[in-house]
Chains A and B, each alone.
Chain A
Amino acid sequence: MSTGEYVPHAPGYVDSPGTKMVTSRFGYEDSYTLERSLATGGYEGLKAALAQAPDACHGITRDATVLGRGGAGFPAGIKWGFCPAEVWPRYLVVNGDESEPGTYKDRLLMERDPHQLIEGCLIACYAIGLSQCFLYVRGEMAIAQQRLADALNEAYEAGYIGKNILGTDFSVDIILHWGAGAYIVGEETALIESLEGNRGMPRLKPPFFPAAVGLYGQPTIVNNVETLANLPWLMVNGADAYKEHGSETSPGTRMFAVSGHVKRPGVYEVEQGITTYEDLIYGDDYCQGIRDGHELKMFIPGGGSAPWLFPEHVSLPLEARPVGAAGTMLGSGAIVIMDDSTDAVKACLRVVRFFARESCGKCAPCREGTSWEEKILQRILDGNGRPEDIDLLLDVADNISPGPYPVASDESQGLEAVPFPPRQTTICPLGPSSVAPITSAIRRFRHEFDAKISGVPVEVGS
C-alpha cells in the first residue's frame, strides 16, 4: 500500500500511488538485505527465467519493449540482439555511473534494493550468454558500493551467483567495480575504457554499439541500473502484464526525480507515456505545485543535457517521441523546476559550467568550446558582457553542434520547435549538450541577456 509520503529511510523517495515495478521494497527499512528480498519475492524472477530457455527470456524482454532507462531510451531487447552470433565471450557492464545533473534514481535502486539489481543482471546474463558481469558504480556513491558489496557477498554465499547457480548449468560472476569522479564515464564507450583501467574518454564511432565491439574488443552489453532492475518483475509477470502499464510505445513504469522550486520535490515511480509533466509538477500525489507566491518560469525536462521547456509545454506526456518532437528529450528522468525568481543567465551559466568542467578533452570543439561558452556567460552575468557576445556565444555553440539546435516552440514569438537530437562535431554528445541551455535561454529570454550586456559601463577593447 502506498503511503503517499516521503519514506524516511530512503531520503527523497515518495511512496506515490500506482504499480511499483522497481521500488516495491523501498518501504521496508531493511529492503537491502537478502532476507527481506527473499521474503518479498526476491530471486523469483531468476527462477522463472531459469525455468525457460535463454532465448525465450530474450524474447520476453524484446516483446515487452523494455526501453533503456539511462537516457537514450533504446529498447534493451533489441540492443541485446546486436551481439554477433559466434563471437565469445560476451560481457555485461552495468552503468551505475549516474551523474547527469538533476538525476538520481539508480543510486536509490542500488542503495535500497541491491538484490533486485543483481537478479536483473543474472537474468540478462542467462538470456544472451554473457559470461561475466561488471557492476560499475559511481565513485562518489559510497553507500551504494557498501550495500552492493554486502548483497553480492550474501548472494554468492546463498548460491545465487557463481558456479552452477541454483543447481543449474548457469554459471556467472558479478564483480563490483567503482569509478573515481568523471561524468563522461556515463557514456558507454568511456565506461568501457574506464573499466579497462584507462582514462575515461569515449571511443571513436563506428562501431556505434559496444554490443559488437566492447570490453577487451568483445561483444559487450551496457545496460543502465534501472533497466536491469525491471527484469525480475518482467520475468515473474510476463510481457503482456508489463505492457498493461504505461503507453503502447513506452510500456512499464519509470522513476523521475523532480527537483527545484516545487512544494514536494522527490523521486517518483510512475507509468511512462500516460503520465504528464503537469501531473508530476502539480499533482497532489506528486510535487503539489510551484512553491507559494511564485509561478513556473521554465523547466529542464530530462537532465542537464536537455533543452528547456516552458509553462505551455507541461501537458506533454513522459514519453520519448513527443518530448523529442517538442525539441528536447526525456533523457535521464531528471526534471528541474525553475520558478519566476530564477535568473535565466545564471541558470544557463551553471549548466554550461558543468559541461566545461566535465569535458574529457578528447575533441577540440568541446574541450575549447565549452570553456569559451562558460567565460562568455560569466562575463555577461558579471556585467562585463560585450554587445557581440550573444552572437559569439551562438557561433561557438555552432562549432560544437552545427545547424539548427533542438529547442522548444515559442508561440509568443511565432517560433516552431526544432526536434531532437542535435548534430555534433564531436565523438560523444557531451559538447553538444552544453548548447542546450544556451539556445533555450537566448531564444526565450534574450532580453535578460541584453539587459545585462547593456548595463556595461565601459566597453573594453575595440
Chain B
Amino acid sequence: MSRLTDANVALAREMIARYPRPKSALIPLLHLAQEQEGWVSDDAMAHLAELVGVTAAEVRGTCTFYEMFKLHPVGTYMVNVCTNISCQLLGGEELLHHAEEALGIRPGGTTEDGLFTLEDVECIAACTEAPCMQVNYRYGLRLSTDDFDQIIADLRAGRHPQGLVTANPGEPIPSHGTLGLTRQQTGESKMAGVLPPEQVNEAPVWLNANATEDAS
C-alpha cells in the first residue's frame, strides 16, 4: 500500500489549502509520503499528482531534483557524515572512513539488517562543531570515532542516543522520513485566508487605511 493513508490524505488537503496554488505544497507532500513509507514510491507520486492536480511525471520531475527524497527503500536510520571544508579540516573524512568500517558499507549503501544507510553529505550547518553528522537529521557534534560507535550501539539497542541533539531532551529519533515531530496546525478558521493571486486585485486593507499623506 503505497498511496497515502486516509489520515495522511486529510493532512495533505489541509496543507494544500495553505497555498495560493496547490502545486506549491508538493515538496512538503513528498516528505509526507516519505514519512509514511520511509521512501517515495511511484504509487505515492501518482497519488500526490492527483491531489495537487498535476501529472505524475511532474511530481517525479520535482522529486528527483532533491537529494533528501529516496526513490528506493533505505535504512531506518540515515547516517549523514559531513566531509565539507570545515569538517574536512578537523577529521570529517576520517570519521566517514570509520563509519564505513564500522557499518561495513560504503556511502549510499544500507546495512543488511536494514537499520542504517550511510551517506557522505555536503555542509550541514554545524561547522564550528566539526566533525559532525546527522542521523535522521538530528545532529551529532564534535564526534570522535568512539562517539560514533556509541551512537550506533545505542540505536541498535533501541536506547536513546545521548550523542544526538533533539528538540527536547530524551525525545525519540524517528525512523527515516519523519523530520520535525510536530506540525503547523493552522486550520482555515484561524487563518487570514488564502486566495489564488488572480483573485486579489487590491492593496491589503491595512495599507490603505493607515497610509500617511506622503506615501512615497
Contacts and interface: CB of A to CB of B under 8 A. Distances in A.
A406 B195 CA distance: 46
A292 interface: no
Contacts, number: 249
B179 A142 contact: yes
Say what secondary structure dominates the interface of chain A: mixed
A83 to B, nearest CB: 11
B179 A53 contact: no
A418 B28 CA distance: 43
A154 B31 CA distance: 23
B128 interface: yes
B211 A147 contact: no
A114 to B, nearest CB: 11
- Chain B interface, >50% SS class: loop
Given A129-B204, A163-B192, A179 B27 contact: yes
B68 interface: yes
B127 A199 contact: no
Contacts of B128: 12, 104, 257-259, 265-267
B138 to A, nearest CB: 7
A180 B27 contact: yes
A156 B167 contact: no
Contact of A131 (B83, B84, B200): B200
Contact of B26 (A88, A142, A197): A197
B184 A354 contact: no
Contacts of B71: none
Contacts of B141: 11-12
By CB atoms of chain B within 10 A, which of A98, A338, A350 has the most? A350
Nearest to B18: A175
Contact of B68 (A169, A181, A196): A181
Given A153-B184, A266-B128, A180 B167 contact: no
Given A103-B123, A149-B183, A175-B19, A216 B165 contact: no
Chain B, interface residues (CB within 8 Å), range = 35 or more
A218 B186 contact: no
Given A143-B139, A175-B18, A266-B128, 9 more contacts: A11-B165, A129-B204, A143-B138, A169-B206, A169-B209, A175-B184, A179-B27, A197-B52, A347-B88
The 9 closest A-B pairs by CB, nearest first: A146-B180, A180-B66, A197-B26, A181-B67, A197-B23, A104-B125, A259-B127, A171-B192, A265-B128
25 contacts: A11-B139, A12-B128, A104-B126, A132-B192, A146-B180, A148-B184, A162-B192, A173-B18, A175-B186, A178-B28, A181-B67, A182-B65, A182-B67, A197-B27, A201-B65, A216-B197, A218-B197, A259-B86, A260-B90, A261-B89, A261-B90, A265-B129, A265-B130, A336-B86, A350-B83
Interface of A: 11-12, 53-56, 88-89, 98-104, 107, 126, 128-129, 131-132, 138-143, 145-150, 152-153, 156-157, 161-163, 168-173, 175-183, 194-201, 216-218, 257-261, 265-267, 300, 304, 334, 336, 338, 342, 346-347, 350-351, 354, 357-358, 360
